[in-house]
Amino acid sequence: MYMTRWCYIIVLGASLFAAGCDSAGPAKQEDLGRGIVQGTLGARPDSAAGLAVPAHASMLEGQVTAVEGGAYLVREIVGIERRVAHDENTRIDRPAHVGDRIEAFVDEGGRAVLIRNRDHDER
């Protein structure tokens, strides 16, 4: 019985060692993260940073004061605070955080069509 336990331990150890070995080598952590980000809907390639401005949309520019679930609260340069609603159809070059300056193009219904993060352009 004592010998049987040692056989199980040796076989288990050998199988764990073999399962952990990969002939291609381990993937770099950075590559794994890049794949995750590129797979998300919000990620855009660098070439899309200069997104085209929609033809029939009004523009507002200001600083994000709060982030709600589906909207940004934006204080315009003149001091007026507006709620900019967005949804899955809104093109966003980079998600904004409180304190970021954004440029939003809003359609006639009040929904954002395009949101650009202006702080991202200066970095």
pLDDT digits (tens, 9 = 90+) for 27-83: 566 665 565 555 555 555 544 444 666 677 889 999 999 998 889 999 998 999 999
How far is C-alpha 100 from the geometric centre of its chain's CA atoms? 15
Residue whose token pair is 């401005």 = 53
State the CATH number of the domain containing residue 45. 2.40.50.140
Range of the domain at 43: 1-123
Pairwise CA distance, residues 48 & 100, whole Å? 20
Which pLDDT score, from 0 to 100, does residue 10 have? 72
Question: Count of CB atoms within 10 A of residue 100's CB?
Answer: 17
* The total number of structural domains that make up the chain: 1
Mean pLDDT value across residues 100-109 = 91
Pairwise CA distance, residues 62 & 116, whole Å? 11
